[in-house]
């Protein structure tokens, strides 16, 4: 099992699978990673690209990884929409979260994802 600092390092090209995704990648750990990267003067937008790379890896076997893909779509939307704030970030964030909602089977997560969209819209 990796830790958040090693996962979000330039030297690390490994990808997570299964339960490891839910354990290592959380809303809290992503913000911890942001702090770590900031301290190292590394552009925090790299978090978005690392998550994007992770989800692209999982999409190579969409059926098997559908739950993890939905979860990471939400994390991307959460981070982009509430913390990163790039140009049109709210649109990008809501798009990813809506993708998560479409494929998520767990109703509790769907409700959480919908709450994230509400929070993003409140910031507008």
Cβ-contact 67, 107 below 8 angstroms: no
**Does residue 1 carry a pLDDT above 60?**
no
DSSP one-letter code for 10: T
pLDDT at 104: 96
**Does residue 21 carry a pLDDT above 90?**
yes
What is the distance between the alpha carbons of residues 41 and 95, in angstroms, rounded to a whole number?
A: 29
Overall average pLDDT of the 12-28 stretch:
96
pLDDT at 123: 84
Query: Measured over all CA atoms, what is the biggest interatomic distance in the chain, rounded to whole angstroms?
Result: 39
pLDDT at 62: 97
**Does residue 86 carry a pLDDT above 80?**
yes
What is the distance between the alpha carbons of residues 61 and 57, in angstroms, rounded to a whole number?
A: 8
Cβ-contact 79, 51 below 8 angstroms: yes
| Chain segment 30-47, per-residue pLDDT in tens | 999 999 999 999 999 999
**Does residue 2 carry a pLDDT above 90?**
no
**Does residue 22 carry a pLDDT above 70?**
yes
- The interaxial angle of helices 62-79 and 46-59, nearest 10 deg, is 160
Average pLDDT, the chain: 96
What percent of the chain is predicted at pLDDT more than 90? Answer: 95
pLDDT at 80: 98
Among 25, 4, 3, 19, CA closest to 74? 25
How many other β-carbons are positioned within 10 Å of the β-carbon of residue 117? 20
């Amino acid at each position: 099992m990796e830790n958040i600092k090693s996962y979000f390092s330039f030297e690390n090209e490994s990808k997570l699978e299964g339960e490891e995704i839910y354990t290592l990648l959380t809303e809290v750990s992503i913000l911890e990673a942001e702090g770590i990267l900031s301290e190292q003067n590394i552009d925090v937008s790299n978090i978005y690209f690392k998550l994007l790379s992770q989800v692209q890896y999982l999409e190579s076997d969409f059926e098997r990884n559908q739950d993890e893909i939905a979860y990471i779509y939400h994390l991307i939307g959460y981070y982009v929409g509430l913390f990163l704030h790039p140009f049109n970030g709210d649109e990008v964030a809501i798009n990813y979260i809506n993708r998560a909602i479409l494929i998520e089977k767990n109703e509790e997560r769907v409700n959480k994802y919908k709450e994230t969209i509400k929070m993003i819209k409140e910031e507008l």
